[in-house]
Amino acid sequence: MVYEFRPNIFSVGTQDWDRRLFDELIPLPEGTSYNAYLIRDKKIALIDTVDPRKREELIGNLKELGIKKIDYLIAHHAEQDHSGVIPDILALYPEAKVVGSEKCQEMLSDLLSVPKERFLVVKDGDTLSLGEKTLEFLSTPWVHWPETIVSYLREDKVLFSCDFFGSHLATSDLYVKDEPRVAQAAKRYYAEIMMPFRSAIKKHLEKLAKYEVSLIAPSHGPVYPKPDFIINLYKDWVSERVANEVVLIYVSMHYSTKTLVDYFISALMRRGLTVKPFNLTVTDIGELAMALVDCATLVIASPTVLAGSHPLVFYAVYLTNALKPKVRFAGVFGSYGWGGKMVEMIKETLGNLKVEFLEPVLVKGYPKEGDFSSLEKLADEILRKHKEIGIC
Ligand code: FEO
């Protein structure tokens, strides 16, 4: 579908209504979109392409617009959901040059065999005149790969941000209409993809603050006509603020851990703490990642399996470590039959996180009276820690 959303600036990307998994890892409950944009001036610039599975739609959109020549193909990011159709565009439009960072050139050569002579390397602050309109390129590495850049169309004050500020959301709305829905989708996207790069993103937000932006056009999800809406959400997510919340991830095999989990949830609730439990046998990992964006405390509950945690718990802990949430405190409880090193293994696996571990509670077999008292102490300790950092 082609939309002209500013004079001579078109949206030419595609919706992927049915896709339910990205990178064979990330759930997409609401599909996604691969946004590409076209600027028609004396020179014609295509801003990113689309996932290869949507090749024909992009090429059809360019035909619908009657595009006979493309001068520049801006490649903000080398990941294939945006770059995958570059070889086709280069074949169809022999005069087109790919424009991107030096690292992007190297990556597109490795990933898609884009010839070096078809590439124009740009650095931070470089500009490209299209005639009446000027693109300025800003280096924003690690959003979420090392080569990423964004571009600013000076005359129209439009920021083309690629993955930055994106949301996995297939929608018929070109612009954000349902703000709460987009806020949720963007938070999920941030949690799954951007959270490990929180420090880099914080610096990029400071850099972008110097630009007057009237519209943000990302490469996934709807366009932001009110840029402050998404910028303010990002500022909060990358800040040091944590919420008075406990995320509790668990698996139980024979009711011992589940009995502890149920008791512990009540203990937290009695203390006025918000708890978000995730039974990992049925959890959407995107929902878990979202809860980790700003919770103050993570508690892990597991039975002991072959000396360690249940494998589903290990997977969630491994993923949490990779996502690097700003969680401050961590607790572990669970059950065992004859021994094991579950707590040590969990602590080791969370090595990226700057967390303070609270006293673990390990129960032999089914929980007894003294075990529930230990959970009361753990809940007390969490409340005390939250008070100490001023969030309750
Ligand atoms: Fe949407 Fe990192 O690709």
Q: In the prediction, which pLDDT does 196 show?
A: 98
Tens digits of per-residue pLDDT, 359-384?
A: 999 999 999 999 999 999 999 999 99
For the chain, what is the mean pLDDT? Answer: 97
Across residues 124-142, what is the average pLDDT?
A: 98
Q: Do the strands 9-11 and 26-27 form a parallel or antiparallel pair, or are they unpaired?
A: unpaired
Atom of ligand 1 nearest to the CA of 145: 2
Query: Which runs of consecutive H residues, i.e. helices, occur in the chain?
Result: 55-64, 80-83, 86-92, 102-112, 179-189, 198-208, 227-238, 256-270, 285-292, 311-323, 342-349, 369-388
Q: Which string of DSSP letters, residue by residue, matches 226-272?
A: SHHHHHHHHHHHHSS--EEEEEEEE--SSSHHHHHHHHHHHHHHHTT
Q: In the prediction, which pLDDT does 257 show?
A: 97
Q: In the prediction, which pLDDT does 373 show?
A: 98
Instruction: Quote the CA–CA distance of 236 and 274 in Å, as a whole number.
Output: 19
Q: How far is the CA of 191 from the centre of ligand 1 (A)?
A: 14
Atom of ligand 1 nearest to the CA of 219: 1
Q: Which residues pair with 26 in a beta bridge?
A: 22
Burial pattern 126-147, b for ≥16 Cβ within 10 A else e, equals: bebebeebebbbbbbbbbbeeb
Q: How far is the CA of 161 from the centre of ligand 1 (A)?
A: 11
Task: Tell me the percentage of the chain whose pLDDT exceeds 70.
Answer: 100
Instruction: Quote the CA–CA distance of 3 and 327 in Å, as a whole number.
Output: 42
Q: In the prediction, which pLDDT does 29 show?
A: 96
Assigned token pair, 376: 């009361």
pLDDT band at 50 (very low <50, low <70, confident <90, very high): very high
Q: In the prediction, which pLDDT does 1 show?
A: 86
Q: How far is the CA of 26 from the centre of ligand 1 (A)?
A: 12
Give CA angle at 150 (35, 179), nearest 5°.
Answer: 55
pLDDT band at 26 (very low <50, low <70, confident <90, very high): very high
Residue 76 has pLDDT above 90, yes or no: yes
Q: How far is the CA of 79 from the centre of ligand 1 (A)?
A: 5
User: pTM, whole model, 2 decimals?
Assistant: 0.97
Instruction: Quote the CA–CA distance of 135 and 158 in Å, as a whole number.
Output: 9
pLDDT band at 41 (very low <50, low <70, confident <90, very high): very high
Q: How far is the CA of 389 from the centre of ligand 1 (A)?
A: 36
Across residues 170-177, what is the average pLDDT?
A: 97
Instruction: Quote the CA–CA distance of 222 and 46 in Å, as a whole number.
Output: 18
Q: In the prediction, which pLDDT does 283 show?
A: 97
Q: In the prediction, which pLDDT does 213 show?
A: 98
Atom of ligand 1 nearest to the CA of 163: 1
Across residues 119-134, what is the average pLDDT?
A: 98
Tens digits of per-residue pLDDT, 141-158?
A: 999 999 999 999 999 999
Tens digits of per-residue pLDDT, 197-209?
A: 999 999 999 999 9
Q: Which residues are near ligand 1 (CB < 6 Å)? A: 77, 79, 81-82, 144, 163, 219-220
Residue 223 has pLDDT above 90, yes or no: yes
Q: How far is CA 4 from CA 8, 39, 131, 174, 356, in A?
A: 7, 10, 19, 10, 52
pLDDT band at 112 (very low <50, low <70, confident <90, very high): very high
Task: Tell me the percentage of the chain whose pLDDT exceeds 90.
Answer: 99
Instruction: Quote the CA–CA distance of 391 and 379 in Å, as a whole number.
Output: 15
Q: How far is the CA of 246 from the centre of ligand 1 (A)?
A: 30
Atom of ligand 1 nearest to the CA of 34: 1
Q: Do the strands 158-162 and 26-27 form a parallel or antiparallel pair, or are they unpaired?
A: unpaired
Atom 1 of ligand 1 has which residue's CA nearest to it? 163
Atom 3 of ligand 1 has which residue's CA nearest to it? 79
Q: How far is the CA of 166 from the centre of ligand 1 (A)?
A: 9
Give me the torsion for CA of 34, 40, 44, 47, rounded to 10°.
Answer: -20
Across residues 41-59, what is the average pLDDT?
A: 98
Assigned token pair, 275: 């708890």
